[in-house]
Amino acid sequence: MSLCRYQRRHSYTVPVGEARLGGESPLLLQSMANVSTMETDLCVAQALRCASEGCRLFRYTAQGVREATNLGVIAERLHAEGCRMPLVADIHFRSEPAFEALKHVEKVRINPGNFLHQKASLDDETARAEIAEVFGRFVREAQARHRAIRIGVNHGSLSERILAQYGNTPEGMVASCMEYLEVCDSLEMRDVVISMKASNVLVMTQAVRLLVERMDALDWHYPLHLGVTEAGAGEDGRVKSCIGIASLLVDGLGDTLRVSLSEEPEAELRFGKKLIAYIDQLAAFDQTRPIYASHTYRSVTRDQALAHYPAVLALDSDGKALDVGFDARLEETQLALSDERQPLQVIDLDTPLDRLLQHLEDFVAHWDGHAWLELRGAELDYIYKVRYAVEQLSGRGTMPRILLHYASHARGYDDILIDCATQLGSLLLEGIGNAVAFSAVAMSPKARLALLNGILQAVRIKMTHTEFISCPGCGRTLFDLQQTVTQVKQRLAHLPNLKIGVMGCIVNGPGEMADADYGYVGGSVGKVDLYRGQERLVHGIPSSEAVDRLIELIKSDGKWCDPPQQ
């Protein structure tokens, strides 16, 4: 598969009720309820609102048999309203609700990390036999009822046995998935979708790419569900989700997606529609540019990246620096970093192939080993052209420090965010780029700089503000998640270099905030547990006291600073 042009990965077509996922079907947008599955009226009303926003698949948590059974009531009510949107049951910790849910909804998501409770001491042969017996029985039941299955692996909830062997890594996520896929393959079950989710964009994208590599080797073509879990809210949540999802979509990986935000599902869907529209536009645009089709550039890993932290420049429409990070200035033939001036050569990527190749060859012929190379472009296939240029340079034994300079013609705020995060974020995620510059007439200089810094933070290159890892909420959530996230942000947003997790329940909470320095997790109704890293330090305090107690914990660790005076 070429990584220098858009080419969608071949996958099986999976029927989910009246919807079709994978194959030649368009990207399918989905979301999840954030109300209790036992609140039938609320569940039905939210599903109808989401269907009107373009949702094609809607999920409910089914933490017990009671909730799984009520999905049948919800489905009947929706059908009576004329809504045939397929429903999905989300299963954790127990296999019994999964079997019950097969009776009522078109698709059931199981988590290999807790579908069975496999301890670290369990040997692989016994574990695989148990998976084959219990999950195999579930697969056969799904086949008999013509239901689809999602094998949904979460970075934060791998089994003890997998963690003991692989640690909390992309390799562990893939191993966990493959054990269950082997059962599906042995039973010739093709109506299966896979997701590999994490709150860390690097982990999520690495896991998906590794899984595809393993499946390709076996000639398996199960479709992919994409999403960054616990992405958060606001601009940060959108940037993380966009980079994680779009960096895979531009390489043709992905058949359905959910943008997980700590907001109402309708907000997720509105942003998700814009993201799909952008990828569709990029795909259509690239079909007019066949010049890059034969190349197979493979991205470097982050460990191989050339760089120190990238400099950040926000530019006006003429390319002049307006706001500056790392004391960087862009001049006509120089890039000034702090007090050091570096020679700079510019190549315009929006040029015919023969001319572009000549410019690259000229650069190689005259490169002194020190000059930076600015790769400038403003068209939707910028990411493919940069990859092509890097391939050509590396093939000639030349690898200069690169300034990525992208000019966006998008107009709306979300559209600019998607454009910039897709083009620049995807490249930085691969390790390409020692500095980034971004111009957009329709976005203020301050907003541009904030967006670039958000992208660098999402790909774990540079921390400029507190990172909040928060789940989108579901029927398991034990407090008002959106209000709580807002309160925590108001009190703690001034602490750069800290990552704070805010999780609605204990199902994935402690695990999914594996990257967090501190955590605020719903333990029971009205009660909160506080964590330092993965260690629970405070258990069952009233939610009304929890933010103050969290601040006390941060102060006791010497990581607190007072907010700046307004």
Does residue 279 register a pLDDT over 90? yes
pLDDT given at position 74: 98
What are the tens digits of pLDDT across the range 523-533?
A: 777 788 888 88
The mean-pLDDT minimum among 35-49, 115-129, 141-155, 306-320 falls in 306-320
CA atoms within 13 A on the CB side of 223: 27
pLDDT given at position 305: 36
Does residue 295 register a pLDDT over 50? no
Higher local confidence (pLDDT), 19 or 371: 19
Residues 6+ apart with CB under 8 A from 52: none
Helix (H, G, I), strand (E, B) or coil at 418: helix
Other C-beta atoms closer than 10 Å to the C-beta of 303 total 6
Cα–Cα distance between 501 and 56 in angstroms, integer? 30
pLDDT given at position 479: 62
pLDDT bucket at 288, cuts 50 / 70 / 90: low
Task: Give the phi and the psi of residue 29 in degrees, each rounded to 5.
Answer: -100, 135
Contact 423, 457 (CB under 8 A): no
The mean-pLDDT minimum among 228-237, 411-420, 449-458 falls in 228-237
Determine the angle formed by the axes of helices 170-186 and 201-217, rounding to 10 degrees.
40
pLDDT given at position 315: 46
Helix (H, G, I), strand (E, B) or coil at 386: helix
What are the tens digits of pLDDT across the range 3-49?
A: 567 789 999 999 999 999 999 999 999 999 999 999 999 999 999 99
Cα–Cα distance between 138 and 116 in angstroms, integer? 12
Greatest mean pLDDT among 65-74, 259-268, 475-484 = 65-74
Cα–Cα distance between 384 and 350 in angstroms, integer? 11
Does residue 78 register a pLDDT over 90? yes
Residues 6+ apart with CB under 8 A from 166: 158, 172, 175
Mean pLDDT (the chain, rounded) = 85
Helix (H) or strand (E) segment spanning residue 311: strand 311-315
pLDDT bucket at 506, cuts 50 / 70 / 90: low
Does residue 325 register a pLDDT over 60? no
Cα–Cα distance between 27 and 273 in angstroms, integer? 10
Biggest alpha carbon–alpha carbon distance for the chain: 72
pLDDT bucket at 500, cuts 50 / 70 / 90: confident
Residues 6+ apart with CB under 8 A from 444: none
Other C-beta atoms closer than 10 Å to the C-beta of 520 total 30
Does residue 131 register a pLDDT over 80? yes
pLDDT bucket at 333, cuts 50 / 70 / 90: low
pLDDT given at position 472: 60
The mean-pLDDT minimum among 60-69, 207-216, 480-489 falls in 480-489
Average pLDDT of the residues in 426-443? 86
Angle at 253 between CA 250 and CA 254, to 5 degrees: 110
What b-and-e string marks burial along 241-270, b requiring 16 or more CB atoms within 10 Å of the CB?
bbbbbbbbbbbbbbbbbbbbbbbbbebbbe
Higher local confidence (pLDDT), 295 or 20: 20
Average pLDDT of the residues in 478-495? 77
E strand map for 368-443: 372-377, 402-408, 435-440
Does residue 293 register a pLDDT over 80? no
Does residue 471 register a pLDDT over 80? no
For the chain, percent of residues with pLDDT exceeding 90: 51
pLDDT given at position 322: 39
The mean-pLDDT minimum among 11-15, 343-347, 356-360, 482-486 falls in 482-486
